[in-house]
Structure 1
Amino acid sequence: MTISVLLADDQAMVRASLRVILEDQPDISVVAEAADGDEAITLARRLRPDVCLVDVQMPRADGIEVTRALAGPGVSAPLKVVVVTTFDLDEYVYGALRGGAVGFVMKDAGPALLVEAVRAANAGDALISPSITPRLLRHVTSGATPLRRPAQPLSAREAEVVRAIVRGRTNQEIAAELFISLSTVKGHISAIQLKLGVRNRVEITSWAWESRLLDNW
C-alpha cells in the first residue's frame, strides 16, 4: 500500500528535491505541498496523509507549531509528523519531540535516511538523525541511571543490530553490513523490542545509553 506524504517547506526548490527523492520509491506518493505552516495544517487536516514532513522555519506558523497542531497532546486524531530541517538546535529537537513528532531528520542526512524515516513513521516507529541522537539521549539520560537488563538476554546478532541502530544505520544499511536480508533485520528488531520492552528504534538507542553499554562500543 502506498504511503501518502505531505511536504511542508517554504522553499520551492527544497520541496521539489524532497518530492523527487520520495517519489522515486514505489511505495511512497507525495499528495500535497505547503509553503507555510498554516497551509500545512489546513492541508494535513483535510487530506489526512500518512506522514507529514515539516520544516522548522516557515512563515505564518513554524514547524513546532505545526507539529503541536497535528500531533500534539490533546489532538483527537493525531497525524504522524517528521521534522526535516537544516537546524539541529536543542530547542527545535526537544520542541518537536515534545510536540508529538515521530522523527527529526537533518536535510543533509541523505535520501536513504529520509525514506527510512517516512517508512518508520508510517509503521508507527520513530527515527532521528544519528548526528542528533547522542546529544538528545545524553540530555534524556543525564542523571544517574541504574543498569538495565533485558527481560531475556540479547543474542550476539541482536547486539550487533543494536550497535548499528545506535550508529544511525537504516535497515537497508544494517542488512548490507551484516550480510543478512532486510526481512531478517526487521525480525531481529522486532525481537529486540520485545526483549527490551521498547516500541521503536529511538527507545532501543535510549535503552543502550541508559544501560551504559555504549561505553564499550
Structure 2
Amino acid sequence: MAASLTSLPVELLTYILMNLQSPRDLYHTIQASSTCYRVFQVYRVSIFSRILSNFFHRDVTQDALCALYASRTLNLPNVAPLQLREMLATFLREYHSGTLAFPGNFEDLSSLGRAWARVDAFVLDYITGSSVVQARQLRATGDTRLRKAFFRLAIFYSCSWVDRRVCDFLDMGFHRNGRMNELFFGPMSWTEISSTDSRQWKVIRTHHIWE
C-alpha cells in the first residue's frame, strides 16, 4: 500500500486522508506510509478537522465543542469575577445557539480527539461493568445520549466553578437558584445522569479528560 501511494498527487492523498473513518484509521495510515505522513504534516489541521467532524455524531458535536470551549476559557483562576460573569454569559449564549465551529488549531483538535476517545472508553467500560438490567436500559437510551451526558457534565462543572466565584463576589447567579442544573440536565433521563456520576467520572471532574 505504501509503495502505491507514492505515485499519487498530493491533492488526492489529502482527499483520501480527509475521508478516513476515524482518528485511529488516520494514525495507522500515517504510520504505514511515510508519504501520507508528510502530507498530513503539511495539512494536518484541515485533515484532522474533517475526520473529527465526520466521526463525531452530530447530536454530540456541539456538546463536545462546548466542553472544550469551557475547559479552555472558563478555568482561568486569575480573571476578575466581573469578567468571568461576562465570559459565562457569552458562553451560555453560544452554547444555546449551537453555532460553535470546530477549532482552527491542531492543539485543540488533538484535545477534542483525545477527549472523545476517553469518553468513549468510559461509556464502554461502564456499560460492560453494569448489571444486565442497567446495561439494557443504557442501550435503550442509546450510547450517543450517554456520551452526550458525559460532555454535558464536563460543561456543567466548568460553568459551576465560574458561577460559584461570581456568586461569592456578587451574591447572585445560576448556582444558588438551581438554574444551572435545569440548563444542562433538564432533558436527560435519570439513568443517563446517574451513569455519569460513577467512579470513572472522578477523572473527568479533575479535567484530565482534556490532558
Both structures adopt the same fold (TM-score exceeding 0.5) = no
Bigger fraction of residues in helix: 2
Asked which structure has the greater RCO (Cα within 8 Å, sep 6+), the reply is: 2
Bin for the TM-score computed over the shorter chain? under 0.3
Could you say which structure has the larger radius of gyration? 2
Instruction: Kindly indicate which of the two structures has a greater share of residues assigned to strand.
Output: 1
Provide TM-score, normalisation by structure 1: 0.26
